[in-house]
Amino acid sequence: MEAPTKELAEIKEFLTKATHFMEAEKWEDARGVLESAQAIDPNNAHICDMLTEVYKGLGDDEQVEVFHARAADIRKHNWEKEVEAEIRGRHDVMGGAARHEIP
């Protein structure tokens, strides 16, 4: 589920700050800002990717693996939702059974 517009603007602001902290190698500051963004949108793969990079900077290999895997899981889940929506959009689903049109 996507965050509302106000929250998206807040996330964008957090990501901009985090990027600046990361460029300056201020890993703890970046981590804190990204954790705030993740609290708003915990299923955002991009935030997880950024946290992966932050934990690389901090030398925390365990958290690198955690966030790398989390980003991959989120992307897989989102892909599955997109595929399901595509299939549902092509078929009239009623009562659990798909009705197919015969040409």
pLDDT in tens, 23-72: 999 999 999 999 999 999 999 999 999 999 999 999 999 999 999 999 99
pTM tops 0.85: no
| CATH number of domain containing 13 | 1.25.40.10
Residue 94 domain flag: no
- Number of independent structural domains in the chain: 1
pLDDT digits (tens, 9 = 90+) for 69-82: 999 999 998 887 77
Residue 68 domain flag: yes
Residue 42 domain flag: yes
Lookup: tokens for 43: 């299923």
User: Which amino acid, 75?
Assistant: R
Residue 98 domain flag: no
Residue 44 domain flag: yes
- d(C-alpha 38, C-alpha 67), whole Å: 11
CB 34 within 8 A of CB 14: yes
Residue 91 domain flag: no
Would you state the pLDDT for residue 87?
75
| Range(s) of the domain holding residue 38 | 5-86
Which residue do the tokens 């790398």 mark?
68
Residue 46 domain flag: yes
